[in-house]
Chain A
Amino acid sequence: MLEQNLEITVDELRHLVSDRALEGETMLLNMGPQHPSTHGVLRLLLELDGERIVTCVPDIGFLHTGIEKSMETKAYEKALVMTDRMDYLNNLGNNLCYCLAVEKLVDLDVPERAMAIRVLLVELQRIASHLVFLATHGLDTGAMSVFLYCFREREVILDIFEMCSGARMMTSFFRPGGLWRDVPDGFEEAVRSFVESFPKRIKMYEDLLTKNPIYTHRTQGIGAISSEEALKWGLTGPPLRATGLAWDLRKSNPYSGYERYDFEIPVGVNGDTYDRYTVRIGEMRQSLRIVEQVLDTLPGGPVRSDNRKFVPPPRSELGHSMEAVIHHFKLWTEGFPAPKGSVFVAVESPRGELGCYLEGDGGPKPYRVHFRTPSFATLQTLPMLCKDHLVADVVAIISSLDPVLGDSDR
């Protein structure tokens, strides 16, 4: 593998850069895949006229893990673990998207309590993801202290996840048909104490950045895009809402019971780097509101569907019910068959629209899974956003788009 030929003939790539680059008038600069501010393994080819960017050609795929192909070889429930590792800042959101797709494909109902807990955990995950955004965005724009604060609060959320599932990041807590298990004792208190303490923290981040001239000068008017352009190029999530278009799948096409909760969609005005930051700050506040409402209205009852054709029975039943043993054995060795047909489910991930196209062929394994991932779409707009900006601005723009390369390459 080491002898892999990385030399590419120039002719194939001639159309990517301007004619001035071929004459040597402008400079071609390679940025990444190992670069501290490309957020992973993004590679950019920059054509520079002095400090100014003429063209920017993103090159992705350095983290292509073959998740879609691997999932085709696993049973529906076992393929779930792959989704955790796709967008690794939004593990539960990926779980949710895949579970909703499977549930739609096999027509499986989820108990009320499971739906509510799913919403709660996904919103916490959204806050955690935005915290990592804020941390890295702060680092990239020269504010080290934000990084330390954000990761401190993120630990609290990860502790809540660990409490539920035993894992900090790769939880696989949502399963088709509900949750892996009910939340433990002390869960509500932990979430409540987080909800109480977090608004102060958000204010603290805002004090550090929002009116800080060092920060605003680096972000206002940088990488602006209009709503029409953004939609045309498939931009979704906070970058789209920063342009002033209030489109959120949680509102427009509610799933998992989002219609029951009252929240607003924060929007920006100019669609620039600064607006993307303020939108995310607003979203953290709204997520907190949703978490609070879920806690107040948390229904009781089971957390897994009792449809034994799709959901394994609880361990306690295995001791005295032969039928339960048969179901358990069947579901864990073979899995459940899904009908022939295809579904497309879209959820709002912290980065934008996360879609799952799932096709069954009557067997126990998905015939085809495809994830329409938000980072893939946002990275596509990078050349447009970076044009005519300085090299230093590219760093701010990339971090404000908040791409996760595992998400874009899958």
Chain B
Amino acid sequence: MTVVEKAVAKLQRALGESVLSVEEFRGQTSVTLDPEAVVNACQMLRDDAELDFNFLAALTAVDYWPSEPRFKIVYQLYSLANKEFIGLRAQLSNESPEISTIESIYPNANWHEREVFDMFGVTFKDHSDQRRIIMPYDWEGHPLRKDYPLGYEEVQFTFNFDEIDKRKPYAKE
């Protein structure tokens, strides 16, 4: 029994119904959890001496607009002792994209959660410093949402060069 299998079994035992599904894809295991249970799960995975997932390798989100539940928060934990990754997933609906912060367990989640807030508009309950991190303070919208346009600028070719050039806001001295 590998460490990841043990971790999944322990999660299922401790959290019961909150473990919604366990997925294995290309040898990587990801556990979908109830959003309420993420903090407990992280706490357990980190503090259990046998599992020892002591490093938060990545934290991000995926937007499934227009389907529901819209957001998926992705956690990748790593165990230095066991050299294994495990993924945690939590799905959030469009009406209340909110989830508890795991800052108290993995302090480096602070900036990652700020990034997710900035890029997806998912808020983190009890986050110590929830501000935009990457976009300017007064930016409108959350760029990585699927309903946010890419902001494509029309490419100038010979046939439409002058037409677009006229519209271009060139700077003055």
Contact = CB atoms under 8 A, between A and B. Distances in A.
Are chains A and B touching directly in their complex (CB below 8 angstroms)? Answer: yes
Interface of A: 4-6, 8, 12, 15-16, 60-61, 64, 66, 68-70, 73, 104-105, 107, 231-234, 245, 247, 252-253, 341-344, 346, 353, 355, 357, 359, 367-368, 370, 372, 376-377, 379-380, 409
Contacts of B78: 346
Contacts of A15: 129
A49 to B, nearest CB: 22
A28 B80 CA distance: 39
Interface in B26-68: 26, 28, 30, 54-58, 60, 62-63
Contacts of B110: 380
Nearest to B115: A376
B159 interface: no
Given A70-B150, A73-B150, A372 B60 contact: yes
A233 B107 contact: yes
Given A68-B144, A377-B108, 4 more contacts: A60-B134, A73-B150, A346-B85, A368-B62
Given A68-B144, A355-B57, A61 B134 contact: yes
Interface string B99-127: 00000001110111001000000000000
B136 A253 contact: no
B8 interface: no
14 contacts: A61-B132, A66-B143, A66-B150, A66-B151, A231-B54, A233-B108, A234-B108, A253-B85, A342-B25, A343-B26, A346-B78, A357-B74, A368-B62, A368-B63
A209 to B, nearest CB: 31
B133 A60 contact: yes
Nearest to B80: A247
A69 B143 contact: yes
B65 to A, nearest CB: 11
A105 B57 contact: no
A245 B131 CA distance: 33
Nearest to B151: A66
B25 A343 contact: yes
B62 A232 contact: no
B13 interface: no
B157 interface: no
Interface of B: 25-26, 28, 30, 54-58, 60, 62-63, 74, 76, 78, 80, 83, 85, 87, 106-108, 110-112, 115, 129, 131-138, 143-144, 148, 150-151
Nearest to B152: A73
A112 to B, nearest CB: 21
- Interface centre among B58, B76, B112, B131, by most A CB within 10 Å? B58
Nearest to B63: A368
A150 to B, nearest CB: 30
Contact of A355 (B76, B129, B134, B137): B76
Contact of A5 (B54, B83, B138, B151): B138
B138 A380 contact: no
A104 B60 CA distance: 19
Please name the 7 residue pairs, one residue from A and one from B, whose CB atoms are nearest each other, closest first.
Answer: A234-B108, A61-B134, A372-B58, A370-B60, A341-B25, A252-B83, A368-B62
Contacts of B80: 231, 245, 247, 252
A377 B78 CA distance: 15
B138 A64 contact: no
- Interface centre among A15, A64, A342, A376, by most B CB within 10 Å? A342
A107 to B, nearest CB: 7
Nearest to B134: A61
B58 A357 contact: yes
Contacts of B143: 66, 69
Contacts of A8: 137
